[in-house]
Structure 1
Amino acid sequence: MSAGEVASFTIIDYVVFALVLVISAAIGIYYGFKDGGQQTTQKFLMADRSMRFFAVGFSLLASWMSAIALLGTPAECYLFGTEFWVVILSYPLMTMLTAHCYIPVFYRLKLTSVYEYLELRFSILVRVIATGAFIFYMVMYMSVVLYAPALALNAVTGLSLYGSIVGIGLVCTFYTSLGGLKAVIWTDVFQSCIMFIGLLTIIIQGSVALDGFGNIWEINKQNGRINTWDFSVDITNRHTVWNLIIGGTFTWLGIFGCNQASVQRYLSCPTLRDAKLSLYFNLPLMSLLISLTMMCGLVIFAMYADCDPIKAGYVSKADQLLPFYVMDQLGFIKGLPGLFVAAIFSGALSTVSSGLNSLAAVTLEDVIKPFQRGRNMAFLPDPTATLVTKILACCYGVVAIGMAFASSKLGPVLQVALSLLGVIGGPILGVYSLGLFFPWANKWGGLIGLLSGFGLSFWISIGAYFYPPTNPTLPTSVDGCYESENATFTTMTMISTAVPTAGPPDPPIADLYHVSYMWYSAIGCLTVVVVGLITSFITGRTDPKEVNPKLISPIVETVFCCMPESWRETVRCGVEFGYDDDLKEEENASGDYSGREEDQRKINEKLELHIMNGVDTHL
């Protein structure tokens, strides 16, 4: 093999690729005009609360396990082996906690923005800080997701990297702003199917070419790639069983438990039961997708065990390995490279469209409406508010495109994405957990705890930038490469590593910066909870009887449902729930919410009155 012999895109590949774009855009156009179009905020932002669980389950998958997973996970497996595979063991725990501890509260309140909860539970300031952090995080995350498929396109087609970023961003912005959440969810379903087809094609072809997947596994085993079970308790180890399961649970809980993009999908379901089913439907899909991407990494290493494309100079980054493999090994089958690029593109479209829709919702509910309320201004009429959200979606699309140009400097897409999720998502998860599970927490505990969580998380992540840990990759070889004047043999770049140079030693505090990025979310979350509780007790804890039980997680009623009432009273910590029948009704088989519309109307009136009066304590 030599550089320059890799196949290039054909007209058939471009047709397959373009077809995916056309179908995605057509879905947006269809829902943009169906039944009078997206003329209300309930339709545009909440899909009229009519989505079924399987569609939402696919949408959750596509939103968070997309281009980053497709490109980053095979590269992770190629460089470090199978240790990251253990992360799928964190998914069941995350799913159960989200379904039974977080979703019931948000669903019962029927809020458009999840950050409204923070004002109801703590104060407007806590809500504003969390909203700002989410907007910053989501824009950064979308920029990474835009960059990833553009990198793939650049590697396999020669198209301009930045031209691809603009193209992806514009297509996604178009169908999101036109078709709303319903278009986003149904395009997610279509794009998820494309992703699975693309991955299966790679694995099947690789198994045929390398005499079966058993042989692929053996080649990886002989080269030290099958290293799944590392039970080390050293928190500075990049990946271990403990940080992947425990740290992974916190990381994904921050995404699925209280992230606006996820919660917005749960609230688009007609019943609480459907919302929970969407999570349980998503669970095997996530596990399958990660498993397929890890298997792709094994296939790539087995194919290039004697000729590392990075050392040989055929690709410049590990994230380009999968597209390089596709063009090198599948390029002779016309249309397959196009299908692969379409799969990567689909992953990016789904994530960015979800981000744009959630950012529009948050900006309307948490920025524009509070601004109007603070100045005693009349709220925008619903048709006008809908138009504003569409304009906001377009504006955020332009911002994400601009930020994507800087993403090439951030490093491997998988680690960058998970680090962002931990640094920002961890403290936000912490403040929600503080409010949902600890009725003694007051507004000062929520505020000081959230600021402390952000402070420590950013301190560690910034320190890791200046004093990066050394995480050497597994050895590779170029002994089997064909000699070529164009091939340059260089030392593989180590992810998040520092090149040893003569100089002063790292300060002792650098050990803190070397903690695995998988612990970022747990550190941020626990800091918020601990500091928040201490602050609350110092400043005068809240009497649990004064807390609106609608703002506290009903997990006590679920976990201790078989206990005697006297015991349950104790574990409620003094919170006077008083709606056991309400809980039972929402947990029953039908899950039908329609019979409680009047009850919910009264709840919403009380919550709205609470906000309008500017109260920042508790109901």
Structure 2
Amino acid sequence: RHTVWGMIFGMGLLYTALFSSNQHFVQRYLTLDTKIKAQGSLYINVVLSSIHISVCSLVGVVMFASYASCDLMKLGHVDIPDKMIGYFVMDLFGSVKGMPGLFIVTVTAAAMSTMSSGQNSLAAVYLEDVTKPIYTAVHKKPMTERFATNITKCFGIFFGLATIAVAFLLAEAKDTLVIIAWKLLGILGGPLFGMFTIGITCPRANALGAAAGLVSSLGILIWINAGVLMFKIRPDNLPTDISGCIVNTSEYHNKMTASAFFNTTPQEYFNMTPTVHPFELNTSFSNATVGALTNGLPELDYESGIFYLYNVSYVWYTLIALIVTFAVGLPVS
């Protein structure tokens, strides 16, 4: 799913689509009074986004190195990878006063900033493209500034409540929230980026061709994701195990006996185990213990005869949309 080339070129193209044709970013450019300032903000954003993606990738590599021999998901401590970052922060900085709280504050602040600006963009788009035309057609006069301000606030509240509702639904999803978000950005933003690109770079392209390319690329990406969901295709992950997990010896001795350990299933054992901690330097599991815990786990078959596009990483969705838009849009034009 994530390779060096995919993160450089695929993710780079996805960010290009965001910076050039996404309403969320374009609205911010328009708040600046000159074109030079808008271009400067874009250049700064490109540099900071590159650093952000690089740091996130580095954190992922470090987390894998830390938990490769003590997989928290196989232990049943977490059900989705999103929750592992909390364990990781507590493992490294749990003893540092204020650090866990600082982590929560930074994550919350970043999320609130992104969500508030996104809701503002949705409210503005809905006002300009939906509400104002309907209001003008019904009342035969333009909307007043005061009414527009009030209705925009109502839209902001509505989209905020809708976002909270969607968050509860996504909590039940098996994929990570970040992956779901990037997939949606690729599916919806890729075709839009392709439409703008074909219009800018190809003089012969017309509205019909651009629309045909937009619809075709959107249909292809929806079909790919429908196949992924239908056939339950999962990406190939690097191998992990639980041979490096370490049990708190004193608590284990007080609450568990050898008889209880060898006469319970792996799931029952981990429900009874007081602490399993990859960084706590006490007594590690023996090979016999690891064999008992992993016995009976199903072997995952990653070989599939399903059409290859179903296995394409989401980082290439924008490129696929761009190719399909040009392949369909130019002949139709």
Q: TM-score range by the shorter chain?
A: 0.7 to 0.9
Indicate conservation of the 8 Å contact 1:315/1:324, yes or no.
no
Q: Which residue of 2 aligns with 1:287?
A: 50
Q: Which residue of 2 aligns with 1:516?
A: 313
- Are residue 268 (structure 1) and residue 31 (structure 2) matched? yes
Q: Which residue of 2 aligns with 1:411?
A: 175
Alpha carbons of 1:447 and 1:245: their partners in 2 closer, same or farther (altered >3 Å)? same
Indicate conservation of the 8 Å contact 1:468/1:513, yes or no.
no
The aligned runs of 1:469-618 (5 Å cut-off) are 469-483=233-247, 485=269, 486-487=272-273, 499-500=300-301, 510-536=307-333
**Secondary structure class of the residue paired with 1:405:** helix
Deviation of 1:516 after TM superposition, in Å, equals 2.2
Question: 1:456, 1:295 → 2: CA distance?
Answer: 32
Indicate conservation of the 8 Å contact 1:312/1:481, yes or no.
no
Alpha carbons of 1:427 and 1:340: their partners in 2 closer, same or farther (altered >3 Å)? same
Alpha carbons of 1:452 and 1:375: their partners in 2 closer, same or farther (altered >3 Å)? farther
**Secondary structure class of the residue paired with 1:533:** helix
Question: 1:355, 1:290 → 2: CA distance?
Answer: 20
Deviation of 1:292 after TM superposition, in Å, equals 2.6
Deviations 1:489-538 (A, max 9, x none): 877xxxxxx9549xxx9665x223222222211111222233122111xx
- Are residue 449 (structure 1) and residue 213 (structure 2) matched? yes
Which residue identity does 1:333 align to in structure 2?
A: V
Deviations 1:214-235 (A, max 9, x none): xxxxxxxxxxxxxxxxxxxxxx
**Secondary structure class of the residue paired with 1:524:** helix
Alpha carbons of 1:377 and 1:253: their partners in 2 closer, same or farther (altered >3 Å)? farther
Q: Which residue of 2 aligns with 1:330?
A: 93
Q: Which residue of 2 aligns with 1:458?
A: 222
Question: 1:387, 1:338 → 2: CA distance?
Answer: 37
**Secondary structure class of the residue paired with 2:32:** coil
Indicate conservation of the 8 Å contact 2:190/2:321, yes or no.
yes
Deviations 1:254-294 (A, max 9, x none): 21111011001111111111101111112222222223333
Q: Which residue of 2 aligns with 1:345?
A: 108
**Secondary structure class of the residue paired with 1:286:** helix
Alpha carbons of 1:294 and 1:242: their partners in 2 closer, same or farther (altered >3 Å)? closer
Indicate conservation of the 8 Å contact 2:80/2:175, yes or no.
no
Deviation of 1:359 after TM superposition, in Å, equals 0.2
Q: Which residue of 2 aligns with 1:424?
A: 188
Alpha carbons of 1:516 and 1:296: their partners in 2 closer, same or farther (altered >3 Å)? closer
Question: 2:96, 2:126 → 1: CA distance?
Answer: 46
Question: 2:188, 2:154 → 1: CA distance?
Answer: 26
Alpha carbons of 1:259 and 1:477: their partners in 2 closer, same or farther (altered >3 Å)? same
Question: 1:346, 1:446 → 2: CA distance?
Answer: 39
Deviation of 1:415 after TM superposition, in Å, equals 2.1
CA-based RMSD of the aligned residues comes to 2.6
Counterpart pick for 1:367 among 121, 130, 139:
130
Indicate conservation of the 8 Å contact 2:235/2:311, yes or no.
no
Q: Which residue of 2 aligns with 1:62?
A: none
Alpha carbons of 1:248 and 1:462: their partners in 2 closer, same or farther (altered >3 Å)? same
Counterpart pick for 1:385 among 141, 148, 151:
148
Indicate conservation of the 8 Å contact 1:468/1:514, yes or no.
no
The aligned runs of 1:2-81 (5 Å cut-off) are none
**Secondary structure class of the residue paired with 1:390:** helix
Indicate conservation of the 8 Å contact 1:431/1:528, yes or no.
yes
Indicate conservation of the 8 Å contact 2:69/2:245, yes or no.
yes
Deviation of 1:376 after TM superposition, in Å, equals 6.6
**Secondary structure class of the residue paired with 2:95:** coil
**Secondary structure class of the residue paired with 1:439:** coil
Which residue identity does 2:135 align to in structure 1?
A: Q
Deviation of 1:242 after TM superposition, in Å, equals 3.8
Deviation of 1:324 after TM superposition, in Å, equals 0.9
Question: 1:269, 1:333 → 2: CA distance?
Answer: 41
Question: 2:157, 2:96 → 1: CA distance?
Answer: 38
Deviations 1:300-326 (A, max 9, x none): 344445433222333222211111122
Q: Percent identity?
A: 38
Question: 2:3, 2:101 → 1: CA distance?
Answer: 36
- Are residue 317 (structure 1) and residue 80 (structure 2) matched? yes
Deviation of 1:470 after TM superposition, in Å, equals 4.7
**Secondary structure class of the residue paired with 1:411:** coil
Indicate conservation of the 8 Å contact 2:68/2:239, yes or no.
no
Question: 1:290, 1:447 → 2: CA distance?
Answer: 32
Gaps of 5+ in 2: 253-268, 277-289
Indicate conservation of the 8 Å contact 1:449/1:527, yes or no.
yes
Alpha carbons of 1:246 and 1:452: their partners in 2 closer, same or farther (altered >3 Å)? same
Question: 2:220, 2:136 → 1: CA distance?
Answer: 33
Question: 2:131, 2:140 → 1: CA distance?
Answer: 11
Question: 1:419, 1:356 → 2: CA distance?
Answer: 19
Deviations 1:314-345 (A, max 9, x none): 32222111111222332222321111111111
Deviation of 1:422 after TM superposition, in Å, equals 1.0
- Structure 1 length-normalised TM: 0.44
Which residue identity does 1:311 align to in structure 2?
A: K
Question: 2:143, 2:159 → 1: CA distance?
Answer: 20
The aligned runs of 1:296-315 (5 Å cut-off) are 296-315=59-78
Alpha carbons of 1:325 and 1:283: their partners in 2 closer, same or farther (altered >3 Å)? same
Gaps of 5+ in 1: 1-237, 492-497, 537-619
Indicate conservation of the 8 Å contact 1:309/1:321, yes or no.
yes
